[in-house]
Chain A
Amino acid sequence: MNEKVGIVAQAQTKYEPLKEGVDLSEMIFDVVKQVREQTGLKFTLDGTGIDSTVTCSQDLWDGRTISGMFASDVAGAHLRPEEKVAGNGVSAAAYGCMQILSGHYDVVLMVAWCRESITNGRLVEWMSMEPFVHRMLGMDFCAAAALQARRYMDKYSVTPEDCARVVVRAHSNARNNPYAQSPRKLSVEDVLKSKELASPIRELDAKPTSDGACAIILAREDKAKKITSNPIWIKGFGSCYDAHMPGDRDLAKCDALVSAARQAYKEAGIKDPAKEISLAEISASYAYQELMYTEGLGLCGEGEAKELLAKGVTDMGGRLPVNPSGGSLVGNPVTVDGAVRVAEAFLQLSNQAGARQVPGARVAVAHGVDGACGQLHNVMVLGI
């Protein structure tokens, strides 16, 4: 990228299985207010404050058609522009970045939210499936992921113990993250003993139901430098879809992620991601995905992520920590999870990550995903 866009602030709610009695608007207001207070910015139309809002949510999860509409007041869109991305937060952050790169706006607020607890999420997932074929099978994302998990695990000899180790690490990392949803002290045995949902996926392999919101503010280079002393720059972005029907793909591979990562690295001038990247924040709803996506992001070869994990390379203190925040396995709502990955990358690179800080972090990769078996992948490279 020739022009630079910086991230200048982030805010997150604590993620919880059930935010009892909380209106969606209150949750959104909470994080938007925080980033406004951190930056001192107001919503203006004269180029002196926040110029535009990008929201990130899903209609079916919110139970509202064009669900950005109800949030206009709390998201700062009263008599102002707002565009909604019905995808993951990495994609929404990239859209905000493009609004700035296009010259249309200088400062953009991105806010993502979801209360998964308010409805039957399995039906929401089921509603994303092909109506004539997969809905009849009662397929949700967990059943689809189970097909992919078996294929991936068979092809690369990944064991249930390897996947369980991912969960143990996620919870261990999350204990350092004040936003994290109920991190637990787990053993591999605890994971392997948890209830089977859809073989080979067990309850603790899967992300739990979660409520929460996340906001970030993006700004053009000159303004970013005025707003904060340590803006974090968006260095590259990539996006790629895979086939909708799982039967059309080799589920052992995540070709769309490989392609999205390649685009992002090219733009960021990264030649050897395994050497140049300091940490990765990966969106994984099931444990095997964290391994698969580590490989898809080019942080190691195909089938090698389990070895990195076993050797501690991707642990805190290792050479390339994966999900210092704990990631979605401990609980981040869908659509919000991508935004959290960007927000956590910002915290790490601006040295504000507290107990989960990766010392000396210079380049981070944030990954977002949508759809059954990871149909859409978004990759963002951020740097100091």
Chain B
Amino acid sequence: MATEQTQDLIIVPCGIHGEMNMTYRWGAGDFLSKAFEELRDNGKIYANECPQCGRYHLPPRKVCGRCHVEMDGFDKWVQVGPRGTVLVYTVTLAPFLDPETGKPRHVPYCVATIQLDGAPCALEHFLKETNPENLKVGMRVEAVLKPEAQRKGDLGDIIHFKTVQE
């Protein structure tokens, strides 16, 4: 996709990293907030289970879309990870803006869907490994967390998942 247009008649800078800085204050809600607090304060990753159909949500969610029922507080939370299995992965080679910094992200980087041990549910996150030769569906990985003092209470508290031999 084109990132800038010089051919058009009028260019109006307007956007996320343009001259107009437009911010949103989303609410994470009590479920995602608690999940991020657990990650920041205790280094733990949680999923939650629907009391009706038994499906797990990662990160925890308040409403099960399949049953359209509200979760019963925090009592169906289960700790998952830090190890897991790679279901699929992709190595991105097209330079992309890092939304956190507004600067081009260093390529290559690898994003994977990881099934964490402890419950049948999956999360997308970075893999440390980016060499296609060393990447395999089914490979075992483990979450690498930031040092406790640097954690902010967001998904970035997990730096990436590193390959582990078992």
Contacts and interface: CB of A to CB of B under 8 A. Distances in A.
Nearest to B156: A136
Contact of B111 (A118, A123, A143, A243): A143
A150 B124 contact: no
Contacts of B87: 151
B1 A116 contact: yes
A133 B124 contact: yes
A195 B107 CA distance: 14
B125 interface: yes
Contacts of B90: 143, 146-147, 149-150, 198-201
Closest 10 CB pairs of A and B: A146-B90, A121-B1, A247-B122, A198-B92, A197-B94, A199-B91, A198-B90, A150-B88, A151-B88, A147-B88
Interface of B: 1-3, 5, 7-9, 12, 14-16, 24, 26, 28, 32, 36, 57-59, 65, 87-94, 96-100, 105, 109, 111-113, 121-126, 132, 137, 154-156
Contacts of A123: 15-16, 97, 99
A159 B103 CA distance: 35
Most chain A CB atoms below 10 A, which of B88, B98, B155:
B88
A115 to B, nearest CB: 10
B113 A132 contact: no
Nearest to B7: A20
Contact of B26 (A131, A134, A247): A131
Contacts of B16: 123, 127
B21 to A, nearest CB: 14
Contacts of B9: 21
A153 to B, nearest CB: 10
A10 B46 CA distance: 52
Contacts of A359: none
Contacts of A253: none
Contacts of B58: 247
A63 interface: yes
Contacts of B123: 133, 247
A248 interface: yes
B124 A122 contact: no
B93 A136 contact: no
B1 A198 contact: no
Contacts of A196: 91, 93
Contact of A118 (B5, B105, B125, B132): B5
A142 interface: yes
Contacts of A162: none
Interface in A118-159: 118-123, 126-127, 131-140, 142-143, 146-151, 154
Given A18-B5, A151-B87, A197-B94, 14 more contacts: A118-B5, A131-B26, A132-B32, A132-B154, A142-B94, A147-B124, A150-B88, A154-B88, A195-B94, A198-B93, A199-B90, A247-B58, A248-B122, A251-B88
